[in-house]
Amino acid sequence: MDQSIDYWRQVIELSPWIVATPFLVGFGIILLNTLVGSSTKLVKTLSMVASVGGVLYGFIHSLLLFQALVKHPELVPWVKNIPYFTSASFTFTVGVLIDNLAVFMMLVVTSVSLLVQIYTHGYMREDPGYSRFYCYLSLFTGSMLGLVVATNLFQSFIFWELVGVCSYFLIGFWWNKESAAQACMKAFVINRVGDFGFLVGILWFFAVTYSVWSGHPVLQFFDKDGYDVAGVIQKAYLAKNLDVQTLWFISMVMFMGPMAKSAQFMLHTWLPDAMEGPTPISALIHAATMVAAGIYLVARAYPIWQSADGTPGGMGLTFVAIIGAATAFMAATIAMSQYDIKRVLAWSTVSQLGYMFVGLGAGAYTGGLFHLFNHAFFKAMLFLCSGAVIHGLAGEQDIRKMGGLKKSMPITAICFLIGTISISGCPGFSGFFSKDEIIGAATAMDPMLGGVMILTAGLTAFYMFRVYFMTFEGAYRGNAHPHESPLVMTAPLMVLAVPSILSGYLGFNFASLGAISFTGEHGKAFSNWFGSFIYFKQPVFEGINGTVMLSSIGFAAAGFLVAYLMYVAGSLKWNQAIAESKSPLVQGIYQFSFNKWYFDNLYMGLIQKVILPGFQAFWKLIDILIVDNIVNGAGIVARGMGEGLRYAQNGRGQYYALVIFGWVAGLTVLVFFLR
Amino acid sequence: MDQPQSILTAILLTPLIGSVAIALMPPEWARKLAIAFSAAMLALSAFATQSFKPGTAGYQFEQIVTWITSPFPVQYHVGVDGFSLCLVVLTAFVTLMAVLASESIGDNRPKLFYSFVMLLTLSILGVFVSLDLLQFFIMYELELVPMYFLIAIWGGPRRDYAAMKFLLYTFFGGVLMLGGLLYLYFALTVDNPAMVTFDMVKLAQVAPLLPKSAQLIAFLGFFLAFIIKLPSFPFHTWLPDAHVEAPTPISMILAGLLLKMGSYGLVRICMDFFPTVFIDYGHWIMALGAFNIVWAAMACLVQTDMKRIIAFSSVSHMGFVLLGIGSLSAAAVNGAIFQMISHGVISAALFFLVGCVYERTHTRDIHEIGGGLAKEMPYVFYMWMFAVMANLGLPGLAGFVAEAAVFYGAYTSPMALTTAPHHAMVQTAIVIACTGVILTAGYMLWLFKRLFFGELLAKWQGHLSDARSTEKVVGWALCLSILILGIYPMLLINQYGNVADAVTRGVVSKMSISQKPETQL
């Protein structure tokens, strides 16, 4: 194609429609449902076609954008802003920012959303809320794309909350289920806790840089005159408005937002419960896109997490890496003992998100985002596979009641296996490449950190193969009638299987294979395609550290082997040993993992035993003790005045009023002269 | 285009004529007449907006009729700027919604009911368009009469208590305002006899020149009156009682419009007349606002009466107005004004929806309702969902704009600058206020869950019905306006933005005179 540069410029200038279309579709479906009702076949088909069409358009346009960026890198970053709130103090804008990072994420969002929406047609066909589901999916896709193209932190916050509320609607989609009702509320409230930190972080950041923005659109991610987050930090640092410590604290407070959205250590408890929602949204929202928003935000506003004085690294990033590592390890240990197929995958998502944060925190900017990219595909596929399993077993989610499904649902089994291999970090599959980059960077930052990540890789292989073996191998243990899903559901799986195997090669150059170093050093680096597209400031390529790579492969293989011996060969009986063990230590560890490190118990206990009673006591104290004393006084007055008003009703109102007004006038004059 | 000079008088006369007409016509006409007059009011205010010139400084559509000049001046003076115009439109809109929502309650003595509603509207509109302090005061007090009877006649079981409590608190506030008003008058007599006036336009110029102590005393009179109406801790207890007992449409007007009289007065009178008080005590006003936001939200978490929760939520949301105006940042004052309008619509929607549920279940107790209502009343469920999201400040809906503007504005305001004397206190107050976003989400979602999610109790099976067509119309109108304001807030800000900037500039300009920051020396 030899279109002129004007053509590509136009492609970029029309990009706001990618965001607007799903919203219009969403509102259209609402109108349609209100005017016509949601039960007719026509409305259902229209909703589906409009929703899928909207995201299909988005996907095609994103591909065109991508082409434009490759052909004419000089056209970006492209920014278009409109004012949202103006005042003499400052102006907030919303708009569209197109650059490599945004287009990369748009591709991920639209492609996964497209496949999930196609899959939904099969999965939700019998559900009375079919049309409503497509409406929510469209609104979510629009909100997520709005977050991706956000030009400033304020706009990020807007769409950040909007994706959260879509997630709330979808988790609580089956509102008559008590567990779903609990889960959606929990998701929203915990996300609000994160948003609180996010908001305070932005406020703080805004306050210290306030004088520097000086009339420019505020909180921008990119500005051609340098009035963007990076430039302003530099200017504020030089003007001594901002020191290194302050920026550390700001970045840590602000990190609460990503911690909640991406379910990181301490604010993670909502994500596994979010599995109460229908499986397509677990794949789209709670695996591939929304939960990656935290990673995206940190990548987008990376300068905030860096050191203000411009030196590489910094406490902000270290904090990100530590939280990420803690999350990755914790979630992996929990995933090992869970029995709900979706929850194992959810914990695995939590763990993999931790990896991405370690990548960003350890300075592997490209590596972290590369893992986001690969993970989006294989985890979406894994969730859709689990959905197919649940669909085929009439709603069964307990892997103890599965087994042997390989025979009855071969496509699902193969796709699940591909996903499992990929996430376990088997060389040659996509997960391996990005995970290796992250582990390499983590090791370079701190060997301890690298060690934790390598250990976690082993655990990952174990719990993923445990799920695979318990679900698809051996003999069937349930009493449903397993059957393979229709093509509309399996086709998206098969499409997703392709990037799950191959997407890793985008970030790999075969030349580095020849330069592996086994001396504990990084080998010679060669440029790769992904790293030349997504980078911070300038592309950074890392060679392969053979020692690290081999040890992570070794741990993963060990994990696989243990799972195989325990669940297929049956020669290893650790699980029985644990179940029968009387040792309090063994039982304690098992229960610690099974009960998800007791976070839920802790939080619920805090809320029910401390916070709510605390509020109640506080409220009683103030409202009843202090205010009501006034009110009781007022009650006496009320009775007295009631008597007075009785006279007023007897026709002597004017005297009464006269007396009061007279008193007021008299007292005022008195106050005035006594002053 | 020439501006229609008597448009405001026409807007004021509409409800007055309406109330008389309803009283004279047969009862079966009452509702139709009320709808017609409210619609006419909305049309007139839309026409006024159409011919209004936004961005022009000062008042428009001004009309002055002098009555007497001695011993003290009495005149009829009306006029609007962008700020009061927005509130006039809000009043007309919410009144129409409330009249529409009176379908069931208004059947009981319809003539009296609708007549009182019209009278109530007259007094609210009067407050927003008055430019004479005496006239303002009379309009402010006039509202008491219809409101008292509307609660006392059409209210719930404890209506007598609630109506009396409302009356006492508000009357007490009125007395304080009268005191402040008289004090201001006498103080001016001493300070500058040539300039003695009740004209608010002139007062805004002369009152700030009064000595600090005189400003403070007069300010206290007005401020206390307004925060009783707002309402703010510790004078808020009338609100939950009044709301719980008031019938649905009256709650809509009470929360949507009446509270705005207080917040309007805070900006129009307290900020304009007494700037030095804001400079010296702005941080305390902010602290009070922050306390209101958080404490009322906590109170919501321990209530079991759904209407009480929404009522306390109003207290919490009006805290944003205090937080905004105390901060002396143009953006935050702008946000405070936006909050008045957005809360006007959102709280009207919420009280309307509470009414929808109450009308069908005849209980407001969350435990008695027991959840699962979504099954039998899906339409009400979706409207509730929308209103809940609006109330917890979801971006894209009206409530968020105001909250964000107040937070961002306050945190970057002159009060929060590190050079400001009380910046630590101010910053702490704002961060505490920010925890309100968690608490608000907590109580709203909890309420929503306990009403609509889960299984329906057996006793409700088959006894509930979904929204009627009038209810759908009201619901859609309220929800759409919330959405439009949230997506395109500039619609409103274009109208009143310059007022917020000017008011703030007026106060801050005094700051440099009275405080003289070191940087300027």
How far apart CA A237 and CA A218 sit, in angstroms, is 17
Q: Which residue of A has its CA nearest to B395?
A: A158
Indicate yes or no: CB of A660 within 8 angstroms of CB of B437. Answer: no
Spatial CA neighbour of A671 closest among B467, B65, B184: B184
Chain A residues within 8 A of B374 when measuring between CB atoms: 175-176
Kindly list the residues from chain B whose CB atom is less than 8 angstroms away from the CB atom of residue A189.
Answer: 438, 441-442, 445
Burial of A460 (0-12, 13-18, 19+ CB in 10 A): buried
CB-nearest to B175 from A157, A158, A660 is A660
**How many Cβ pairs within 8 Å bridge chains A and B?**
172
Residue-wise pLDDT tens digits, B72-107: 788 899 999 999 999 999 999 999 999 999 888 777
**Residues B166-178, mean pLDDT to the nearest whole number:** 85
Chain A neighbors of B168, CB-CB under 8 A: 634, 637-638, 641
A184-188, A309-313, A558-562: range with lowest mean pLDDT: A309-313
Choose among A326, A485, A329: nearest CA to A405. A485
Residue A58 CB-density burial (10 A; 0-12 exposed, 13-18 middle, 19+ buried) = buried
CB crowding B299-316: b at 16 or more within 10 Å, else e: bbbbbebbbbbbbbbbbb
Above pLDDT 70, what percent of chain A? 92
- How far, CA to CA in Å, does B508 sit from each of B219, B271, B272, B373? 17, 11, 11, 51
Query: Residues of B with CB below 8 A from A162's CB?
Result: 394-396
> Which residue type does A261 have?
K
pTM over 0.90: yes
> What is residue A561's predicted lDDT score, i.e. its pLDDT?
92
The pLDDT tens digits of the residues spanning B320-341 come to: 999 999 988 899 999 999 999 9
- One DSSP character per residue, B233-301 reads TTS-THHHHHHHHS-HHHHHHIIIIIHHHHHHHIIIIIIHH-HHHHHHHHHHHHHHHHHHHHHHHHHHH
> What are the φ/ψ torsions at residue B76 (nearest 5 degrees)?
-105, 115
Q: Is B231 on the interface with A (CB under 8 A)?
A: no
Interface of B with A in 322-351 (CB under 8 A): 329-332, 334
Q: Does B401 touch chain A (CB under 8 A)?
A: yes
The nearest alpha carbon in chain A to B232 belongs to A627
Asked if the C-beta of A45 comes within 8 angstroms of chain B's C-beta atoms, the answer is no
Mean pLDDT of A226-234: 89
Cβ-nearest to B372 among A176, A637, A671? A176
Answer with the residue of higher pLDDT: A455 or A508.
A455
Q: Decide which of A4 and A373 is more confident.
A: A373
ipTM confidence: 0.91
Compute the mean pLDDT over every residue in chain A, rounded to the nearest whole number: 87
Distance from CA of A87 to the nearest CA of B (A): 5
Q: What's the distance, Cα to Cα, between the start and end of chain A in Å?
A: 87
**Residue B331 to residue A665, Cβ atoms within 8 A:** no
Say which residue, A5 or A323, is predicted with more confidence.
A323
What would the pLDDT profile of A167-202 be if each residue is shown by its tens digit? Answer: 999 999 998 888 999 999 999 999 999 999 999 999
pLDDT of residue A596: 84
On chain B, the residues whose CB falls within 8 A of the CB of A675 are 213, 217
Report pLDDT for A661: 64
Average pLDDT over residues B496-519: 74
Which residues in chain A are contacts of B234 at CB distance < 8 A? 626-627, 630
The arithmetic mean of pLDDT across residues B352-361, rounded, is 91
Check residue A479 and give its pLDDT.
84
Set of chain A residues whose Cβ sits within 8 Å of the Cβ of B489: 84-85
In the predicted model, is pLDDT for residue B34 greater than 50?
Answer: yes
Q: B480 and chain A: CB distance < 8 Å anywhere?
A: no
Asked if B500 reaches chain A (Cβ–Cβ under 8 Å), the answer is yes
Q: How many other CB atoms are there within 10 angstroms of residue A585's CB atom?
A: 8
Q: Is A263 left (phi over 0), alpha (psi -120 to 50) or beta?
A: left
How would residue A421 be classed by pLDDT, with cut points 50, 70 and 90? very high
B401·A85 Cβ contact <8 A:
yes
**Residue B421 to residue B279: CA distance in whole angstroms:** 11
* pLDDT given at position A651: 43
CB contact under 8 Å between A638 and B168, yes or no, is yes
pLDDT digits over A278-298, tens only? 999 999 999 989 999 999 999
pLDDT of residue A668: 62
Provide the pLDDT for residue A639: 57
Query: B295 vs A664: CB contact, 8 Å cut-off?
Result: no
B168 contact A CB<8A: yes
Report d(CA B66, CA B74) in Å as an integer: 7
pLDDT at A660 over 80: no
Instruction: Assess whether pLDDT exceeds 50 at residue A650.
Output: no
pLDDT, tens digit, 9 for 90 and up, residues A467-520: 999 999 888 888 888 888 889 899 999 999 999 988 888 888 887 777 777 776
Q: What is the mean pLDDT of chain B?
A: 88
Angle between helices B469-487 and B398-411 (to 10 degrees): 30
Residues in chain B: 521
pLDDT at residue B157 in the model: 83
Find all residues with CB under 8 Å of A366, minimum gap 6, and list them: A437, A507, A530, A531, A534, A535, A536, A539, A540
Residue B496 scores a pLDDT above 60? yes
Burial A527-552 (b: 16+ CB within 10 A, else e): ebebbebbbbeeeebbbbbbbbbebb
Q: Which residues of A touch B501 (CB under 8 A)?
A: 87-88
Nearest CB partner across the interface for A162, out of B395, B416, B438: B395
Contact B237 A192 (CB under 8 A): no
A656 has pLDDT over 70: no
Residue in chain B closest to A635 (alpha carbons) equals B165
Neighbouring residues of B191: CB distance < 8 A, sequence distance ≥ 6: B209, B210, B211, B214
* pLDDT of B108: 80
**E strands within A104-146?**
none
Instruction: Kindly determine whether residue B394 and residue A661, on different chains, have CB atoms separated by under 8 Å.
Output: no
Contacts of B171 (CB under 8 A, 6+ apart): B144
pLDDT computed for residue B14 by the predictor: 92
Residues 583-642 of A with CB under 8 A from B: 612, 615-616, 618-619, 622-623, 626-628, 630-631, 634, 637-638, 641-642
Burial class (CB in 10 A: 0-12, 13-18, 19+), B425: middle
A435 and A425 Cβ atoms separated by less than 8 Å? yes
Q: Which residues of A touch B496 (CB under 8 A)?
A: none
User: What does the pLDDT look like over B457-484, one tens digit per residue?
Assistant: 888 888 888 888 889 999 999 999 999 9
Q: Which one of A19, A32, A38, A87 makes the best mutation probe of the B interface by having the most chain B beta carbons within 10 Å? A: A87
Q: What is the mean pLDDT of residues A159-174?
A: 93
Give B150's contacts (C-beta < 8 A, 6+ positions apart). B113, B116, B117, B120, B246, B247, B250
**DSSP code of A403?**
-
Output the six-digit token pair for B139. Answer: 């309009």
- What distance in Å separates the CA atoms of residue B518 and residue A417, rounded to the nearest whole number? 70
- pLDDT tens column, B406-447: 999 999 888 888 777 888 888 999 999 999 999 999 999 999
- Average confidence (pLDDT) over A440-453: 91
Does B27 score more than 90 pLDDT? no
- Chain centroid offset of residue B241 CA: 18
Chain B residues whose beta carbon lies within 8 Å of the beta carbon of residue A668: 179, 182-183, 186
Chain length of chain A:
675
pLDDT in tens, A84-124: 999 888 899 999 999 999 999 999 999 999 999 999 999 98
Mean pLDDT computed over A554-564 = 92
In this prediction, residue A327 carries a pLDDT of 94
Q: B382 with B374: CB under 8 angstroms?
A: no
Chain B residues in contact with A616 by the CB 8 A cut-off are 302
Whether the per-residue pLDDT at B518 is higher than 50: the answer is no
Q: Which residues of B touch A637 (CB under 8 A)?
A: 168
Q: Is residue A552 within 8 Å of A355, Cβ to Cβ? A: no
What pLDDT is stored for residue A627 in this prediction? 62
- pLDDT value of residue A671: 62
Q: Is the per-residue pLDDT at B152 higher than 60?
A: yes
Residue A55: pLDDT band with limits 50, 70, 90: very high
Percentage of chain A lying above the pLDDT 90 cut: 50
Quick one: average pLDDT of A391-400? 88
**What are the pLDDT digits (tens) for A252-263?**
999 999 999 999
Q: Is the model's pLDDT at A640 over the cut of 60?
A: no
Cross-chain CB nearest to B331 (options A89, A158, A675): A89
- Burial of A671 by CB count in 10 Å (0-12 exposed, 13-18 middle, 19+ buried)? middle
Task: Kindly tell me if the per-residue pLDDT of B485 is higher than 50.
Answer: yes
Mean pLDDT on A534-556? 85
Kindly tell me if the per-residue pLDDT of A543 is higher than 80: no
Q: How many other C-beta atoms can be found within 10 angstroms of the C-beta atom of residue B233?
A: 22
Alpha-carbon distance B32 to nearest alpha carbon in chain A (angstroms): 26
Instruction: Report whether pLDDT(A48) > 70.
Output: yes
